[in-house]
Amino acid sequence: MNLYKNKNYLFRFISINLIFLIILQISFSLDQKIKLLIFIYATLLLFISSIILLISESRFFLQKIEETLKDFSFYIFLIDLILLAAIIKIRFIDKINNAGNFNIELLISLLFFSWFYGGIVYHHFNSKIDSNYWVYIWKYIKNYIFFILISIFILLYLFENVPGKFKLLEAIFLYSFSSWLFFTINFFRKIPPKEDIERIKFLRANDFTDKINLDNLLFNGITYSLNGKEIDDNFPSIENKLKEVYLRNEKGLFEKLSSRVDFKTINIYNSVVLKSRDLFNIETLPDNKMELIINLHRLNDIRRINQYLIEVNKKLVKGGVFVCCFQSNDLRFEYFIKNYPYFLALSLYFLDFIIHRVLPKLPIVQKIYFTITKGNNRAIALSEGLGRLSFTGFNFVDVFKHNFLMYCIVYKVREPSTDPNPSYGLFFKMRRIGKDGKEFYVYKFRTMHPYSEYIQGLMYDLFKLEKGGKIRNDFRITTWGKILRKLWIDELPMLLNFIKGELKLVGVRPLSKHYYSLYPEDLKQLRIKTKPGLVPPFYYDLPKTLDEIFDSERKYLESYFKEPLLTDIKYFSKAFYNIVFKNARSG
């Protein structure tokens, strides 16, 4: 009986809020008995209304009842009941020495009823073990939040004169923590034994290793050749030197590199292989002469990564190859899992997350962090690493995983970006196409890893688009970013564009250059005749494919140019309905 999937969930959500709002407003002027009667009546009304709403969907009702009974665990119910009762007795009843008091007994009864009701609604007594820890534990967390809020309401507005109510509240918090601990242990006790890499998938809600082949991310089977022909005998190639000297202890790495790059076309005298974080080793090379630069030292340890990559770009000829490596965040996690006992690995990874991912992004702490660490062992997301390479003028041959590192094979296609200050913080701006084809900056809260915007074209080539026009399997989005997008918080700064007059309320979505280039020419010309908008026509007719998005925008624009005001009112009203009542999202 999953209330979140029920089509009447919104009605129930509004109902419960209205009921408690009414109680909150009138409770100050009524005595305790009347307040208690209103609370009981409202709770029963909510419970009965939920049952009636479920029965009204007769084709689902029996199935949901059967599913609930099938997954209901009397063992879990009994353990959780004993845990709650024991904590309330020890932390509350035994402390106040007020046994037999009718108000106390009624208070405890209401709390137990709320606990049971929340347990049924949120599947608290469900014996099923989900494949992911966060999916599994979330239903319990929702129930704890519900139980705590209901308990606070009962204590503050129905039983404000009961002695020791703060001890009771302390007991409820203690129960919630203890119950969470019990179900966490229960999860790890019951999940089937798996290989370490499989356990990562169990634990990480945003893991993408089951969607993307990290051992062969981009390679299409065509070996990259610098000039299309092998070096003659007067200018020996780098291939033998790599195999017999530089990578003699890394045969697996050499095989992967040589299968993707034809080293016989690269002159040994215009090649260099390093294992260093020192920029000086690159600066001493001649400009626009090098055909191959390989650095086997991790980019994670280089203080100024962009400066380093820009210098590499200067030294390479057009089409020259650069091979580098870095440890992505996901491979950091995998490293800890495979090299330490499980729970110790989780603790170490959490500590690593705070030190190397959180601290470097805090404005004041950032300078202290880089002064102490010199940039050593910094955390780099996969999309950030690829984005920095694209930002500094490289295109990709392949990206693959080897020994807990991501190796990138790239070649020089252009000079580095002239953007003087690429975004790295929470609040950032993006170039978009506006009215008359003029570019302007759209303000948003960051939901992707830094530098992700520079691989928009690469992501499109890799994964194309899913329903709604978003990139499929987009690993650039952070966990927090997914939450911000679901709650629409990421788009709040766009109100600044609205105030500045760069956006109107309803209008086509402001697009990046790459996305704009995918549009038909006639639609491009229509788009730039008016300002983009905060609420796009997508939410009016909910197109699923890119062609349907084109048709949706074309239909809106043609209607808008005939009747601007009426069209925007019609589109805004329908969009509001789809967003609020149909839970429409663009991804």
Centre a 10 Å sphere on the Cβ of residue 420 and count the other Cβ atoms it contains.
5
CA-nearest of 182, 205, 181, 201 to 192 is 201
The C-alpha angle 585, 385, 399, rounded to 5 degrees, equals: 95
Q: What would the pLDDT profile of 141-165 be if each residue is shown by its tens digit?
A: 888 888 888 888 888 767 777 777 7
- Helix (DSSP H) and strand (DSSP E) numbers for the chain: 25, 9
Q: DSSP readout, 332-397?
A: HHHHHHHHS-HHHHHHHHHHHHIIIIIGGGSHHHHHHHHHHHTTTT--B-HHHHHHHHHHTTEEEE
Q: What is the CA radius of gyration of the chain?
A: 30
The pLDDT assigned to 50 comes to 58
The span from the CA of 287 to the CA of 314, in Å, is: 6
The pLDDT assigned to 195 comes to 43
Query: How do 439-445 and 427-433 pair as beta strands?
Result: antiparallel
CA-nearest of 543, 533, 550, 535 to 580 is 535
Q: Which residues contact 417 (CB under 8 A, 6 or more apart)?
A: 391, 392, 393, 454
Torsional sign, CA 475, 480, 484, 487:
positive
The span from the CA of 323 to the CA of 314, in Å, is: 15
Residues of the chain predicted below pLDDT 70: 1-71, 97-102, 130-132, 157, 190-221, 228-235, 420-425, 460-473, 581-587
The pLDDT assigned to 467 comes to 55
The span from the CA of 391 to the CA of 306, in Å, is: 8
The span from the CA of 113 to the CA of 115, in Å, is: 5
Side-chain half-sphere exposure of 116, counting CA atoms within 13 A: 13
The span from the CA of 63 to the CA of 208, in Å, is: 33
Q: What would the pLDDT profile of 522-573 be if each residue is shown by its tens digit?
A: 999 999 999 999 889 988 888 888 888 899 999 999 999 999 999 999 999 8
The span from the CA of 568 to the CA of 410, in Å, is: 47
Q: What would the pLDDT profile of 76-116 be if each residue is shown by its tens digit?
A: 888 888 888 888 888 888 777 655 566 777 788 888 888 88
90: helix, strand or coil = helix
H-helix segments, 89-132: 94-96, 102-121
Q: Above pLDDT 70, what percent of the chain?
A: 74
Tell me the whole-structure pTM to 2 decimals: 0.58
The span from the CA of 177 to the CA of 460, in Å, is: 44
